[in-house]
Chain A
Amino acid sequence: MSNSPLLEVVNLRKSFATLEVLKGVDFTILPQELVFIIGPSGSGKSTMLRCCNLLEEPTAGSVLFKGQEISKPNVDIDTIRQHIGMVFQSFNLYPHMTALQNITLALRKVKKIPTSESQDRAMSALEQVGLAEKHDSHPNQLSGGQQQRVAIARSIAMEPDVMLFDEPTSALDPELVGGVLNVMHKLRNDGMTMIVVSHEMRFAQEAADRVLFVDGGLIIEQNTPEEIFNNPQNQRTREFLSRVSDH
């Protein structure tokens, strides 16, 4: 395992009009790490994640991917983004395409892989998430959990270096959460680098290498899951964790 960081965020700030959402955030992601981000709603977790692939443009600070500063204006962001997968809370599958077409679109148009080969790759991605038999279904014929697994397959088919997950299970009925988490577990075991924003604390304890606690646009505390959950150092972390464990 090489130790040069895959992703580095340095003094990241982001404001929407007058609202300062990120107030100077620094973190580093090493290859094959699974980093969990927790924190209250509205604390800036999604914004942090979306700055990593420039869906949001940072107001100040920089984002480095494999040592290259990608937050500079003249970077061709489309070529970078194919190496950074993203999975959304609301799946965002393309409703007019089948599961297979959802996956092959970027393979064909961005990676310029010929149609038949991209179909093979899409099928194997669908197999990884256990939905090969649904390749011909449209999103509205799939359950929420299945849709999210297809969305994950859409990302992994691009063979990204790192994947960003923004609350991938929050929109799902409880009984569908497990299937998605299983897929994420498998990905982690295969050595995928992952940054996960989620409230699934059990999953964090089992799978995360590190947990960042975010509040008010700042990283308040970061540590191994054991330390964060059993021995939180900061008052705000303790309060947050006690509130979540009430549920």
Chain B
Amino acid sequence: MDAFAEEFLNWEVMVKYFPDIVAGLWVTMGLALMVIVSGLILGLVLAVIRAFQIRPINLLIIAFVDIFRSLPPLVIIILLYFSIPMFGLNWSGFICSWIALSLVLASFVEEIYWAGITSVHKGQWEAARSTGLSFFETLIYVVLPQVIRMTIPPLTNRTIVIAKNTALASVVAVQEMLTVAQTSLAYAANSSPLTLAALGYLMMFLPLVILSRYIESRFAWKR
């Protein structure tokens, strides 16, 4: 047991690398927040555009959404990271990870919102349109508020899964928490920095996971 503590919960090592890990934590948090904000917004915008049912545009959206839901996020990040210089751009791993994960989240979010929009009863549209509200006004004031409410549980779950994927940014040299922890682990020849990082992730995501459990029971839309 002592050997275990020495290796995984080494106080000295933890204290020494604590500031580095915290710096990494900020990067992870920043990246996750950026991904969540841009992914949720882009996904909503795509779903709204899709509601207008313009065939060629819809096919594009469906293709985009399907591709980004089929490819592993890590493949997307790496592909973007290695291809971007080819376009004369010089984006950092951070930017590439942000864009890649935002597109992935947006794809899932679009699908969830779209499923919600199609599930709102036709009578809601008719009632609103019969009072003179336009298509867009009906979508904004009558349909989307209902959609957002019933899609909260799947949205939270998906958002958590994809926000956790910020750890993948370590593969393209972003100085986020996992990268920092791995570097520290090599220097210290001790696993305690990884323990710290794992605690960092728990601190970030455990409250969200518990929140999602609560939401699931509050807003249960399933069957």
Contacts and interface: CB of A to CB of B under 8 A. Distances in A.
Q: Do A and B bind each other?
A: yes
Contacts of A94: 124, 127-128, 142, 146
Nearest to A158: B131
Interface stretch (A59-67, A85-93, A188-196): A85-93
Contacts of A90: 121, 123
Nearest to A89: B123
Contacts of B132: 78-82, 106, 110-111, 158
Contacts of A154: 127, 131
Contacts of B137: 109-110
Contacts of A105: 128, 131, 133, 141-142
Contacts of B134: 78
A16 B133 CA distance: 25
Interface string A150-168: 0100110010000000000
Contacts of B123: 88, 90, 92
B72 interface: no
Nearest to A50: B126
Contacts of A155: 131
B130 interface: yes
A81 B131 contact: yes
Contacts, number: 65
B16 interface: no
Nearest to A164: B130
B213 interface: no
A92 B122 CA distance: 9
A198 interface: no
A80 B134 CA distance: 11
A154 B126 CA distance: 13
Contacts of B145: 96
Contact of A92 (B127, B133, B141, B146): B127
B197 to A, nearest CB: 42
A84 interface: yes
B133 to A, nearest CB: 6
Contacts of A32: none
Nearest to B137: A109
Residue among B121, B126, B130 with the most chain A CB within 10 A?
B130
Contacts of A53: 130
Contacts of A79: 132
Interface in B14-65: none
A95 interface: yes
B130 A86 contact: yes
Contact of A109 (B121, B127, B133): B133
Interface of B: 121, 123-124, 126-134, 137, 141-142, 145-146, 149
Given A78-B132, A109-B133, A155-B131, 20 more contacts: A55-B126, A78-B129, A81-B129, A81-B131, A82-B131, A86-B126, A92-B121, A92-B123, A92-B124, A94-B124, A94-B146, A106-B131, A106-B132, A110-B131, A110-B133, A110-B137, A111-B132, A151-B127, A154-B127, A158-B131
6 closest A-B pairs by CB: A82-B132, A92-B127, A106-B131, A92-B123, A86-B130, A110-B132
